[in-house]
Amino acid sequence: MKSLTIHQRSILLMICAPAMWSIAGVFTRHLDAARDFEVTFWRSLFSALFVGAALVAQRGLAGTLAAIRGGGWRIVVSGLMWCTMFSCFMIALTRTTVANTLIMLSIAPLLTAFLSWLILKQAVARRTWLAIAAAFVGMVWMFINGISNLGPSHLIGMLIALAVPAASATNLMIIKKAGQDVDLMPAIFLGSVFSALLMLPFAMPLRASGHDVGILAMLGVFQLGLPCMLMLRATRTLSAPEVSLLSLIEVLLGPVWAWLGAGEAPGFNTVIGGGVVLSALVGNELAALRARGALASDAACRPAKPAPVLASADAG
């Protein structure tokens, strides 16, 4: 890691985060009794416990509370956006297929790029727009068969899933607007707490077996809390559209794990569409790497400005 640049480390973090997010579908397919609201409750509860413990270990209890108070309205709104993502994703996942849920997430880069241009006044590179468009086409192609024959339950699940990219894009705007001035890491903790409290009344009576609780504890830590913290660290360097585009790795890998671990076999469209998405992701990063290399080379070849001549103290 020491040999990597800050930007390359951020890219690595943003590869790890969606790869960890992508395991949600396959593990929820192996639950015994826990369903929709209860699944969301347990996962969010364990995420809150993990993130809270990590924050206290890093900063102490007083430092964590101070960071929450110091974040003001931004940390509360960001927490509500995390809550929306945490809750709606799992509810959608229990009402429709992994593929149908993830196709809804694929519109996040488009929303993020548009809001970055509109709110942050951030110029979005043409290559990024092209990569987003190509990835979106790949997603539609990948899941076209899954969307074509929708029952009422599947349709409701996909409509619920639409809240996830909307909240994700809004949250990225808050994060980028806050910049380095506001520490939004505790917002992940607040989002987990909000989600658990919101789901608890609907989850009663709790039916999860010990097996279910074990799976949901693992998801709360390794599929939710930890990768969200990695993602937030990566946003310090990466642009909002770049973060959102790399997040599509989750959409690419999710159906693969569901196929290997739960028998939801991908069709021909999944393979072709996945190749398009992967090509868009890799192509965008290679183009960015070439662009940064060209800038560095241009700066190195540019003649240095002559040093100003300073008058000596005894000049007369």
Mean pLDDT calculated for residue range 224-244: 88
| Whole-angstrom distance, CA of residue 75 vs CA of residue 79 | 6
The region, left, alpha or beta by phi > 0 then psi within -120 to 50, assigned to residue 97 is: beta
Residue 311: predicted pLDDT = 37
pLDDT at 211 over 80: yes
Cis omega (within 30 of 0) for bond into 241: no
Both tokens of 51, joined, read 């993130």
Phi and psi for 121 in degrees, rounded to 5? Answer: 55, 35
| Average pLDDT score over the chain | 82
Residue 72: predicted pLDDT = 86
Mean pLDDT calculated for residue range 195-208: 94
How does residue 307 score in pLDDT terms, banded at 50, 70 and 90? very low
Task: Give yes or no for a contact between 13 and 233, defined as CB atoms under 8 angstroms apart.
Answer: yes
Q: In this predicted model, what pLDDT tens digit does every residue of 17-51 receive, in sequence order?
A: 999 999 988 898 888 888 889 999 999 999 999 99
| Whole-angstrom distance, CA of residue 77 vs CA of residue 74 | 5
How does residue 312 score in pLDDT terms, banded at 50, 70 and 90? very low
pLDDT at 148 over 60: no
> For the CA atoms of 191, 64, 171, 96, what is the dihedral angle to 10 degrees?
-30
Percentage of the chain lying above the pLDDT 90 cut: 36
Question: How would DSSP label each residue in 113-175?
Answer: HHHHHHTS-PPPPHHHHHHHHHHHHHHHHHTHHHHHS--HHHHHHHHHHTHHHHHHHHHHHHH
Q: In this predicted model, what pLDDT tens digit does every residue of 94-141 receive, in sequence order?
A: 887 777 777 778 778 778 888 888 888 877 778 778 877 887 787 777
| Of 18 and 288, the one with more pLDDT | 18
| Whole-angstrom distance, CA of residue 219 vs CA of residue 42 | 9
| Whole-angstrom distance, CA of residue 269 vs CA of residue 141 | 6
